[in-house]
Structure 1
Amino acid sequence: MSLVLYGHPFSSYTQKALIALYENDTPFEFRCIGPDTPEHAAEWLRRWPIARFPMLLDGERQIVETSLIIEYLQLAHPGPVRLLPADPMAALDVRFLDRYFDLYVMSAMQLAVDTALQRYPMTVEKGRAIASERLERAYVWLEGHLAGKTWATGEHFTLADCAAAPSLFYADWVHRIPETYPALRAYRARLLARPSFARAVEEARPYRSFFPLGAPDRD
């Protein structure tokens, strides 16, 4: 087996890569980075001292940054589910939505989490309030964008949906998607029902106590 993924099941970005792997039943070895596997952490840090996961190894080739990992998988290990369209303009739309979910949903959610972990010099309440304001703005745009769509860019599941699934999953824990956004709420529900993401969610379930703001009793 040539593919190895370093990461943690509860990590949103690790889940993003796992979704792509599961969508195409791509064989790989998962090496969990945690206190019980110091050898995995040591090898990961030796290869990538920036200390961000996931990291994909294909033989001796190393790929980091989740969007690039998913594009690499399509190039080097393609499967029946094409996560980036062949048409360049359609691919540009997918890349935009991928960036939208990472930068405006995931990053906003992460601000609240990082504040709770005391990584920023502000109160937990202040960090969550800023995150909620940013997420609300992101939700407004998504509600309009998703009207009439099954997935992020239309009828096909893509890289953008790999980004959307963990982004919206955790964002909803920080700032609940209001009922006034029915298209967005329905989209999140479809993502949770997608077998690839449902599998990632179940694999992460034992680690929910890690969520510093307290994981809600749902999902």
Structure 2
Amino acid sequence: MSLTLYYHPLASFCHKVLIALYESGVDFEKRIINLGEEADRAELQAIWPLCKFPVLRDHARVRDVPETSIIIEYLDRYYPGAQPMLPADWDDALDVRLWDRFFDNYVQEPMQTIVNAHLTGLSCDQTKERTKLKTAYKMIEKRMSTRSWICGEAFSLADCAAAPALFYAATLLPFPEEYHHLQNYFERLVTRPSVKQVLDESKPFFSMYPFAADIPERFL
């Protein structure tokens, strides 16, 4: 098998890449990395010294590819599916890249800061992070009033980023009841086959998530 993904089934950034892999339909091997195990850490660190997953190893092209957005662009170039993750038009592709960064930086980042503070036992003011999430929700609600997916009518890299970011963020800060466009977008995301497969595969690991009690029962 040409591709191996080094990842963990609970990690939201790994979900982002898994969604793209399932969208492409390419065969790949899964290598779960437990960062609590010294041997696993050493294996990942030998591939990517920063010791962060996911990392994609392409055995056929003798290349290791880190960083979620780069991995998905790489797949789009060398292992494309029926639906491109990046549009051919430059301006449309720029919009996709913008919203990909939006979900990583303004939904994933504050969400992970809150989760990490809980895991490490740090009692810090989380007002800044929750404000970022509220602002992000408001921006998504406005944008989704005129489109099916975050960058138009086609599922893209940006939606790969949106699905895990919103899934976990909603366990910390539920979507406002009046944000119907955001809620409908989330439903389209979690019922898409690639996203549903990722969430189904994560079920055995959800108990490890510190806010597992706030995951809706339908996902458990």
User: Is the CA contact (8 Å cut-off) linking 1:55 and 1:64 kept in structure 2?
Assistant: yes
Query: Which residue is equivalent to 2:95?
Result: 93
Task: After superposing the two structures, state which structure 1 stretch, 96-105 or 46-55, moved more.
Answer: 46-55
Identity of aligned residues (%): 43
Query: Which residue is equivalent to 2:34?
Result: 34
Structure 1 unaligned residues grouped into runs of 5+: none
Give matches, 1:15-164, under 5 Å.
15-34=15-34, 40-59=40-59, 60-118=62-120, 121-123=122-124, 126-127=125-126, 129-164=127-162
Cα offsets for 1:91-111 (capped at 9, x unmatched): 000000100000001111111
What is the distance in 1 between the residues matched to 2:149 and 2:35? 37
146, 167, 191: which is aligned to 2:189?
191
* Residue 122 (structure 1) shift: 3.1
Alignment coverage as a number of residue pairs: 215
What is the distance in 2 between the residues matched to 1:50 and 1:217? 30
RMSD: 1.7
What is the distance in 2 between the residues matched to 1:43 and 1:89? 39
1:6 counterpart = 2:6: yes
* Residue 36 (structure 1) shift: 9.5
* Residue 217 (structure 1) shift: 4.5
What is the distance in 2 between the residues matched to 1:42 and 1:203? 25
Shift >6 Å, 4+ stretches: 35-38
What is the distance in 2 between the residues matched to 1:100 and 1:204? 24
What is the distance in 2 between the residues matched to 1:165 and 1:134? 17
TM-score (norm: length of structure 1):
0.93
* Residue 40 (structure 1) shift: 4.5
User: Is the CA contact (8 Å cut-off) linking 2:44 and 2:52 kept in structure 1?
Assistant: no
Query: Which residue is equivalent to 1:212?
Result: 210
SS of 1:166's equivalent in the other structure is helix
SS of 2:64's equivalent in the other structure is strand
User: Is the CA contact (8 Å cut-off) linking 2:16 and 2:160 kept in structure 1?
Assistant: yes
Cα offsets for 1:54-79 (capped at 9, x unmatched): 00000120100000000000111112
Structure 2 unaligned residues grouped into runs of 5+: none
